[in-house]
Amino acid sequence: METITEIKWADLGLSPEMLALIESAGYKFPSPVQAKTIPLALKGLDVLVSSQTGSGKTASFVIPTVERFKGKNGTYVLALSPTREIAQQTGEVFENFAKSFGMKVVVCIGGANINEEKEALASSPHIIVATPGRLCDHLERGNVWLDFIQCLIFDEADRMLEMGFAKQIDLITEQIPKERQTLMLSATFAPAVEKLARKAMNHPEQVLIEKTTQTAPKIEQELYWLPEERKLTQLVRILEREKGTAFVFVNSKEKTYQLARLLNNKGIQDVTYIHSDLQQEHRELAVAEFKSGKYRIIVATDVMGRGIDVDDVAHVINYDVPKEAADYIHRIGRTGRRGLTGHASTFAIPGKDDKAIAAIAKLRGVQAPERPVPGQREERPQYPKSRSPRPQSNNHPRPRRETAPPKVVTPVPTVAPAPVKAEGFLGKIKRFFSKLSG
């Protein structure tokens, strides 16, 4: 977590009670997004915040909101989150800061018991955190009214829109008084986000922490051009070298468990997976077991990956190139957090993924890498020579495995080892992916 030591929490206009809570949370200094957003939000202004995941963005809207509405009775705050997991985590952060002021937080998410949520909503909570779909269910059933909301928060607005929540968001926004504060946070500003901001906000103050197209500063990024059938071998190599935790992203639900099994078959046992068809309790268990260190590796889809608040993943591996370029930024934002050095490896299939790789390059404002000529040897099985000596699992401790690994399901044929790649092409790849550390 990058924090700014020249700015103190006490400079931001917060009450002594809130400062004490921040101290007990162990936040020594505000992060840049907090230092800029909190004073504006405390004034009741609309704020449009561009900030990547891991920057402390949640506290940047939770702290001023609790500060503004503490001591008042009524449901004044509504925070919308893209996924259940993000909603739950946001709910917890709200709880941490709100409960000592006697404020009640209710989280409404798909998969949870709707009647229990209905009862909780009837108890006049101060703060509601919800996914758009579930909140619309409650609105249709007449379980909740939004007439009293004075502060509306869109967290990860880009993601909510990408997930197709535009209609639900409109429905919800229409039911909230226009005279309100709106805080919108988004890692990227796609046209749909700008449109929503224009519709839902009044002359917002803008907080731009870094160019939205840039990823965290300490991520070493690598690109491997290789055909689908060689990806598994390459993944195994990386995972065997990597001693820290790893997040492996794939583009379909089925592939999460298929890949986890294939890794088991290759002798890598400390791997779990998560996808949105798993029951809520199983998802929570997978996340908890990954966080606790029972499993070192998690295979996930984008939606699920975004919901997991782990900020010291050593290595992000894009087993599949993300369909949306913005997801690349989100995915690799899992590593290199809190000032640690991170690694990200991307597997691209020549021919199939060229356009997606070019789109990522465009978003990042760097030159698109050339792909190898068909038939040439392409992937590079070693870390770049520039990284010498290779960091010893850098500062990410390898978690201990405490219990038996998941069962091997089916045997998988061994894939031939990948050939060594020509040096010249490496240079091009490095040019593409090396900008960040500089």
Beta carbon nearer to ligand AMP, 338 or 435: 338
Does residue number 58 form part of the binding site for ligand AMP (CB under 6 A)?
yes
Beta carbon nearer to ligand AMP, 162 or 309: 309
Residue ranges in 20-39 that form contacts with ligand AMP under rule CB under 6 A: 27, 30-31, 34
DSSP string, 79-117: EE-SSHHHHHHHHHHHHHHHGGGT--EEEE-TTS-HHHH
Of 55, 75, 212, 233, which lies in the binding site for ligand AMP, with binding defined by CB under 6 A? 55
Does residue number 236 form part of the binding site for ligand AMP (CB under 6 A)?
no
Choose among 329, 386, 385: nearest CA to 362: 329
Beta carbon nearer to ligand AMP, 58 or 212: 58
Choose among 132, 152, 145: nearest CA to 78: 152
**DSSP symbol at 352:** T
- Kindly report the CA angle at 181 between 129 and 29, in degrees rounded to 5? 75
Beta carbon nearer to ligand AMP, 62 or 161: 62
CB of 25 to ligand AMP, least distance (A): 7
Q: Of 51-59, 114-122, 242-250, 321-329, which segment contacts ligand AMP by CB under 6 A?
A: 51-59
Of 59, 185, 271, 300, which lies in the binding site for ligand AMP, with binding defined by CB under 6 A? 59
Helix boundaries (H) for 154-309: 157-162, 166-174, 191-200, 228-241, 253-265, 280-292, 302-306
CB of 423 to ligand AMP, least distance (A): 39
Q: What's the helix, strand, coil split of the chain in %, to 5? A: 40, 15, 45
CB of 55 to ligand AMP, least distance (A): 5
Does residue number 3 form part of the binding site for ligand AMP (CB under 6 A)?
yes
DSSP string, 298-317: EEE-HHHHHT---S-BSEEE
What is the C-alpha to C-alpha distance for residues 173 and 98, in angstroms, rounded to an integer? Answer: 24
Q: Of 49-57, 169-177, 186-194, 269-277, which segment contacts ligand AMP by CB under 6 A?
A: 49-57
Q: Of 37-45, 52-60, 247-255, 328-336, which segment contacts ligand AMP by CB under 6 A?
A: 52-60
Residue ranges in 287-326 that form contacts with ligand AMP under rule CB under 6 A: 309, 311
What is the C-alpha to C-alpha distance for residues 422 and 376, in angstroms, rounded to an integer? Answer: 9
CB of 168 to ligand AMP, least distance (A): 23
Choose among 204, 132, 205: nearest CA to 171: 132
What is the C-alpha to C-alpha distance for residues 71 and 288, in angstroms, rounded to an integer? Answer: 34
CB of 27 to ligand AMP, least distance (A): 4
Of 36, 57, 138, 371, which lies in the binding site for ligand AMP, with binding defined by CB under 6 A? 57
Does residue number 54 form part of the binding site for ligand AMP (CB under 6 A)?
yes
Choose among 133, 113, 87, 81: nearest CA to 279: 113
**DSSP symbol at 242:** -
Q: Which residues form the interface with ligand AMP (CB under 6 A)?
A: 1, 3, 27, 30-31, 34, 53-59, 309, 311
